[in-house]
Structure 1
Amino acid sequence: MSNAMYDKIWHQTQEALSALLDKESQKMIEPQRNQVFIFQTLATFYIKYVQIFRNLENVYDQIIHPQKRILIRKVLDGVMGRVLELKNEMVELELTEFHYFDDILQDLKLTPEQLDIPIPKYFLKEKLEVIKGREKILAQILADSGIDTSEVKYSVKSIPFDEAVKLIQIAERARQGRLRASFMKQIFLQEYRAKQSKTLDQKVMNRWAAALRIQKVWRGFHECKNTEKLREEEMVFLGMAPPPFFNEVSATVIQAEKVDRLRNEVQIKHEEDYREALVTIKNDLKLMEGLDIKENLQDQIRHWFIECRNLTGTFPDYPDIEEGGSAIIFSNKTTQQVIEDIIANQEEEKNEKKKKKKKEKQPKRAKKQKKGTKEKNKEEDEEWKMAPSVFLPAMKEGNNTYKDIWMNKDESWNFSQDYDPELIKEEKRKELESEIRVQVDELMRQELKNLKLAVDREREHPEKARKKTEKKKGKKEKKAKKDNDLTADRTIESLYKELVEEGLLIRALKVNLSDYIGDYSYLGTTLRQVSIEPMPSLLDVRQLITLYGIWPLGSAAVHEKAPLVKSLLLVGPAGVGKKMLVHAICTETGANLFNLSSSNIAGKYPGKNGLQMMLQAVFKEPFGKCFHVALKMKSTVASFSPPRFRNWHQVQIFASFGFFFT
């Protein structure tokens, strides 16, 4: 598709998002008590956000304009986080991880395939170089140490000696029987051919009989071929067999892949040009407009000094660097508005002092009565309200910037979809102004001191209180306990090599989550209406792995703010795909895979210090901020797992930002 088509999809998706944000803001205000209605609203929002996410992910992957991609990425992370928040709300409401939306999909005229949650492609694109470098180092370590991980090792159950002898005897007798049968067949065929040759010599050759015999054989062969062909076509039509050229890649797919590669190359080139333009345009603005910005700021602050002196009789106190300096005073305000704010603040301080005096005079009984009324109000307010979202402000901000800049923007001049220099100038002017403001604040603080000394004849008093508080803070920081890092003298490369050689850090198999094939549970809602809990389908499992395992590992913004699921427990018999899902998480996110099973750890790091050292080595960040997945397999601790779930797999997901979730 062309750039215009992807722009059109983006505009339509942003319109749908703005309409959904308006609806959600209305629903958040309205309290509800009907649980069925609450779930219907949450599920509707969830499905609509999933559709918006699918469109935005496709647009972000294919669009090549660098500034548009920044805005789309911001909205995309917000939508991902909002989907996780709605999922968390539904889980807390129904106390189950599995939800079914048959009736809602029917109302929205959607198919279950549209409910499948895709994995953003930028998870791997952004850290592709890091993953490739890590794979090279891992392969080199394995080659140097002589560890062969190409062959997959399966656990073999031990068989008693008597049973093994019986199995060998059965196999040997079967082999001898097959040989004897083949010998008897050969002897029979030889005798049959000898008899046929004797009878043919006695009979007189008949041409018509020979022709009929040939026709009979040919027609039978031809009909067999036709029936086989018809049977194959029927199986292909029913979907029970692949088409004849199923494994061959079509020309359209090859062309589409070629276009995708070209788009990725153009994306990389435009992003590099955009980064270079950020530096060059900022330097040009500094040369052209830097002096003017500095003079305007100084004049503005001097005018503020004089006006405050005329109104209050004294010069104002200059804000500190920690507070933000003069940016707090003049943020989107004129000098008159600043003066009005100063007068209003003085009046507020007087009123607060009066209120404090009145509160001190109030008796304790009045306070107890207030507490009792508050507790009663809490008991009365049992109506359900949607929890405040962390991601809604970011989505609203992105939607507003889209409306202000990109909604009605004429881009007929930008056929190649390169960066817009005017937008960069507006952004860099603000950065340049903030940088110059820091320098101006230092100059104006000194100027204000000189004015106070010259006009008011004030002297600065040493701030003893500040020094005391700073000293106390320094003492507290010194008293804080420091963690004993047993791997402080070790490099990351040596720790990485040790973990690989000890077999803790293993190579993940290249398996995609889409290979875990499963269909939607079409009778989920109807079964729950009859009070029957349906068996979760493979599609439900795949969605939960995407939501709880892949999204938080792939996106740092989602990991920091979204409701986090600390661990995933995958339970089931052998051969249902538990290990496959673990390897799929690592493949889709580029995460490290650690095998922390009890059988693998035993004897490698003995003692308390050894275990602590192992955990510190695992927690460190090898080769950049890459997330990790720890695999605990076949626990032998009976007290930890129930008797029927002795053979279980646990995936513990933890990030390299220093947190470990257990």
Structure 2
Amino acid sequence: KNQNILLLSYSTYNQFWKEANSTINDLLVQEIPAEPLKPEKDRLTVFQKLATLYIKYVQIFRKLESSYDQVVHPQKRRILRQVLDGTMGRLLEVKDEMVNLEFSEFHYFDDILSDLKLTPNDIEIPIPKYFLHERKKVLQEREQVLGKILAKMGPTVKDSDREAKKMSLEEAIRLVQIHERARQGRLRAKFMREIRLEEEREKLAAQRGAPTLDPDVAATRIQKIWKGFIQRKVTRREREEEMVFIGMGNFQYFFTYVGRGVQGQPQVDRRITQEENEVEYQQALVTIKEKIRQVEGPDIKETMQDQIRQWFIECRDATGKFPDYPDEEDGGSSLLFKEKTPEEATELKEKEEEKGKKKGKKGKKSGKKSGKKKKGKNSKLISSPSQEEEPGWKMQESKFLPAVSEAHNNYESVWRNRDEAANFQQKHDGVLIKEDKRVEVESEIRIQVDELMREELNNLKMALDRDKGKKGKKGKKSGKKKGKKSGKKGKKGKKDKDLTADRTIESLYEEMVQQGVLVKCPQVSKYAPPTHARAHRHTQTDTD
């Protein structure tokens, strides 16, 4: 039964998250339009718009806060925290807009609540529970430090200066008498009320006469009615539990009646499970990253080196020289294989076009340039009226909507349609950890590869310069030889050092035999046929 309760709670809070994201999707379409909106001039319309946004963000906040408090999946909690913080920030921004518009911190949403069929309790903003639960240790440490400081300081001056209010003996006796008389009066009133009720009961009994019903029969009737009531209640509860178990019942009934006996305990158990899952998640981050580095690291390193070497060759074939390696501050080799966004591509095209225009303008006369400048000024003057902003109200740019949009997109791409039927305990997802840690390992390996490839590129450049220098010297020498009728031969290059100068041929030969380089071959007659041919010949003569 406890497992069923946990399963239902997980699905319930996941449903809250899903509903909140669907509402966020509608609000993002409204708040981030494709085209900029025109300024609004009607103040009442602006307030209605802001109030509607405020109420919807409050509803989103309430659902996300309850989901974040009870969801135990560590990776889901991170996305929930991001969207929850963004929603709280956006809620404060909308509230600030309303205050600036109405010049008041108190607003009335009666008409909007009636249109949305909500009550004032639905827009109450609860204090997020993680403010206390996630900062419990910090708050306890603060209290301990404060207690130590107060203990060292001792009683303050104000406390020592306080004196008890002095009272005379007569005033004290009078105060005690007042309270004692009041106590006796209450007891007397209670006693008189009991006497009066007893007299009324006696009068009613005298009017009715002696009871005619047997006490055993009366007790049996009472037991019958009570047992029937209890059994119907138990049967109704069991029926609801069965319907909920097969997915056809009302979850709200289940939590209000079945979970009433353990109210508050499932929430505490889930918070304990959150801590356990978080510890396992942190351990998995380390182990999975180390495993990726050991298993996939060498292949990643080799692939990067091959790609960079290919880039060296392509640049040398295109320009005739090796390129300059990007600096580590600029990103190193990651800039070479980074996919450019459409905006970056358009910027590059514009820069190239500007360079071409500048080259074309250099050959023109100064008179034409001045004429163009005048035309440019006139065009600016003509276009200035259209650029003036229209009067009215505009929503200020939000600092929290990008975070909300990012978390929403993450939910839509990863968690919305993810199958978690096998993850009953809501542990971490190893596949997602691998995807994230693979990127980290690649960035770490790329730094090492960049250092190696910089050295390799420097060696290639030095070798290329050396080859060019040798070719230049040979060309000069050949020209001098052709001009002279009788020229001396140029100096020969230095010979490599002989490593076997102090060794005899016999010792070298002996060493090669010992190492198995030289092997004695079997002696075979020059004209002797193969063994299988001779065997065939002998068998043929025997048959003849």
TM-score by length of 2: 0.62
CA, structure 1 residues 352+321, in 2 after alignment: closer, same or farther (shift >3 Å)?
farther
For 1:15, the equivalent position in structure 2 comes to 22
* CA distance in structure 1 between the aligned counterparts of 2:389 and 2:265, rounded to whole angstroms: 63
Matched position secondary structure for 2:32: helix
Matched position secondary structure for 1:395: helix
CA offsets, 1:206-226, max 9 Å, x none? xxxxxxxx9966245999xxx
CA, structure 1 residues 217+109, in 2 after alignment: closer, same or farther (shift >3 Å)?
closer
| Correspondence 1:340-489 to 2 at 5 A | 347-348=352-353, 350-351=355-356, 353-354=358-359, 361-362=369-370, 376-377=385-386, 379-455=388-464
Matched position secondary structure for 1:316: coil
The equivalent position to 2:61 in structure 1, one of 31, 36, 53, is 53
| Correspondence 1:279-290 to 2 at 5 A | 279-290=286-297
* CA distance in structure 2 between the aligned counterparts of 1:286 and 1:26, rounded to whole angstroms: 44
Matched position secondary structure for 1:144: helix
CA, structure 1 residues 354+153, in 2 after alignment: closer, same or farther (shift >3 Å)?
farther
CA offsets, 1:425-466, max 9 Å, x none? 01000010111111111222222223333336799xxxxxxx
How far residue 311 of structure 1 moved from its aligned partner, in angstroms, is: 3.2
| Correspondence 1:188-199 to 2 at 5 A | none
The equivalent position to 1:305 in structure 2, one of 303, 306, 312, is 312
* CA distance in structure 2 between the aligned counterparts of 1:7 and 1:25, rounded to whole angstroms: 26
For 1:117, the equivalent position in structure 2 comes to 125
Q: Does 1:73 align with 2:81?
A: yes
Equivalent residue letter for 1:401: N
Matched position secondary structure for 2:394: coil
| Alignment check: 8 A CA contact 1:318 1:325 kept | yes
* CA distance in structure 2 between the aligned counterparts of 1:83 and 1:150, rounded to whole angstroms: 43
For 1:218, the equivalent position in structure 2 comes to 198
| Alignment check: 8 A CA contact 1:13 1:55 kept | yes
Equivalent residue letter for 2:439: K
How far residue 275 of structure 1 moved from its aligned partner, in angstroms, is: 0.2
* CA distance in structure 1 between the aligned counterparts of 2:58 and 2:295, rounded to whole angstroms: 47
| Alignment check: 8 A CA contact 1:28 1:386 kept | no
Equivalent residue letter for 1:135: E
For 1:6, the equivalent position in structure 2 comes to 13
Equivalent residue letter for 1:417: Q
Matched position secondary structure for 2:421: coil
* CA distance in structure 1 between the aligned counterparts of 2:94 and 2:20, rounded to whole angstroms: 19
Structure number with the higher helix fraction is 2
Equivalent residue letter for 2:455: Q
* CA distance in structure 2 between the aligned counterparts of 1:177 and 1:137, rounded to whole angstroms: 44
How far residue 307 of structure 1 moved from its aligned partner, in angstroms, is: 2.2
| Correspondence 1:241-640 to 2 at 5 A | 255-332=262-339, 347-348=352-353, 350-351=355-356, 353-354=358-359, 361-362=369-370, 376-377=385-386, 379-455=388-464
* CA distance in structure 2 between the aligned counterparts of 1:366 and 1:458, rounded to whole angstroms: 56
For 2:36, the equivalent position in structure 1 comes to 29
Matched position secondary structure for 1:123: helix
| Alignment check: 8 A CA contact 1:29 1:385 kept | no
CA offsets, 1:27-83, max 9 Å, x none? 972213322222222221121111111100100000000011111111111111111
CA, structure 1 residues 222+147, in 2 after alignment: closer, same or farther (shift >3 Å)?
farther
How far residue 384 of structure 1 moved from its aligned partner, in angstroms, is: 3.2
* CA distance in structure 1 between the aligned counterparts of 2:309 and 2:415, rounded to whole angstroms: 39
Worse overlay, 84-93 or 414-423:
84-93
Equivalent residue letter for 1:64: V
CA offsets, 1:96-145, max 9 Å, x none? 33222221111111111111112111112222112112211221222233
* CA distance in structure 2 between the aligned counterparts of 1:176 and 1:401, rounded to whole angstroms: 71
CA, structure 1 residues 175+143, in 2 after alignment: closer, same or farther (shift >3 Å)?
same
How far residue 415 of structure 1 moved from its aligned partner, in angstroms, is: 0.7
For 1:105, the equivalent position in structure 2 comes to 113
Worse overlay, 300-309 or 46-55:
300-309
How far residue 366 of structure 1 moved from its aligned partner, in angstroms, is: 6.1
CA, structure 1 residues 16+346, in 2 after alignment: closer, same or farther (shift >3 Å)?
closer
Identity %: 47
Count residues in correspondence.
Answer: 390
How far residue 174 of structure 1 moved from its aligned partner, in angstroms, is: 11
For 2:480, the equivalent position in structure 1 comes to none
For 2:3, the equivalent position in structure 1 comes to none
* CA distance in structure 2 between the aligned counterparts of 1:345 and 1:27, rounded to whole angstroms: 24
Q: Does 1:85 align with 2:93?
A: yes
* CA distance in structure 2 between the aligned counterparts of 1:47 and 1:458, rounded to whole angstroms: 76
CA, structure 1 residues 297+177, in 2 after alignment: closer, same or farther (shift >3 Å)?
closer
| Alignment check: 8 A CA contact 1:71 1:398 kept | yes
* CA distance in structure 2 between the aligned counterparts of 1:270 and 1:349, rounded to whole angstroms: 57
* CA distance in structure 1 between the aligned counterparts of 2:175 and 2:112, rounded to whole angstroms: 64
Larger Rg: 2
How far residue 89 of structure 1 moved from its aligned partner, in angstroms, is: 2.1
| Alignment check: 8 A CA contact 1:142 1:148 kept | no
Matched position secondary structure for 1:449: helix
* CA distance in structure 1 between the aligned counterparts of 2:146 and 2:134, rounded to whole angstroms: 20
* CA distance in structure 2 between the aligned counterparts of 1:437 and 1:42, rounded to whole angstroms: 49
How far residue 376 of structure 1 moved from its aligned partner, in angstroms, is: 4.1
* CA distance in structure 1 between the aligned counterparts of 2:338 and 2:31, rounded to whole angstroms: 31
* CA distance in structure 2 between the aligned counterparts of 1:84 and 1:126, rounded to whole angstroms: 22
CA, structure 1 residues 412+252, in 2 after alignment: closer, same or farther (shift >3 Å)?
closer
CA, structure 1 residues 60+350, in 2 after alignment: closer, same or farther (shift >3 Å)?
same
* CA distance in structure 2 between the aligned counterparts of 1:419 and 1:127, rounded to whole angstroms: 23
* CA distance in structure 1 between the aligned counterparts of 2:99 and 2:321, rounded to whole angstroms: 60
CA, structure 1 residues 352+72, in 2 after alignment: closer, same or farther (shift >3 Å)?
farther
Equivalent residue letter for 2:315: C
CA, structure 1 residues 418+215, in 2 after alignment: closer, same or farther (shift >3 Å)?
closer
How far residue 92 of structure 1 moved from its aligned partner, in angstroms, is: 2.7
Structure 2 unmatched ranges of 5 or more:
1-7, 189-193, 204-256, 469-544
| Alignment check: 8 A CA contact 1:28 1:385 kept | no
* CA distance in structure 2 between the aligned counterparts of 1:222 and 1:16, rounded to whole angstroms: 68
Equivalent residue letter for 1:7: N
TM-score by length of 1: 0.51
